[in-house]
Amino acid sequence: MRSILVVTSSFLPLVTAQAKARRADPRLVVVDHPIGGLSPEEFAGREETAYAGVVAELRSMGEL
């Protein structure tokens, strides 16, 4: 199963270190932290970044 990881910037060091420990090389899409407790306008910005990143990754994977 192929996967894409959407991670907030605050958790990127954790994800990177975990990936290294497990010898994995995940496809990452990084969005600004946080994604909780936001106004609808603020959340829309995060959504846009995440969506664009996922689409780009899917294209690079030949899925789109």
Q: Would you tell me which residues interact with another protein (CB under 8 A)?
A: 1-8, 10-11, 13-15, 17-18, 21-24, 31, 33-38, 43, 46-47, 50-51, 54-55, 58, 61, 63-64
Using the minimum distance from each CB to another protein, give the nearer residue, 23 or 41. 23
Contact assessment for residue 7 and residue 30, using Cβ atoms and an 8 Å cutoff: yes
Smallest distance, Å, CB 61 to another protein?
8
Cβ contacts of 28 within 8 Å, gap of 6 or more = 4, 5, 7, 12, 15
The two tokens of residue 46 are 């995060």
Using the minimum distance from each CB to another protein, give the nearer residue, 37 or 41. 37
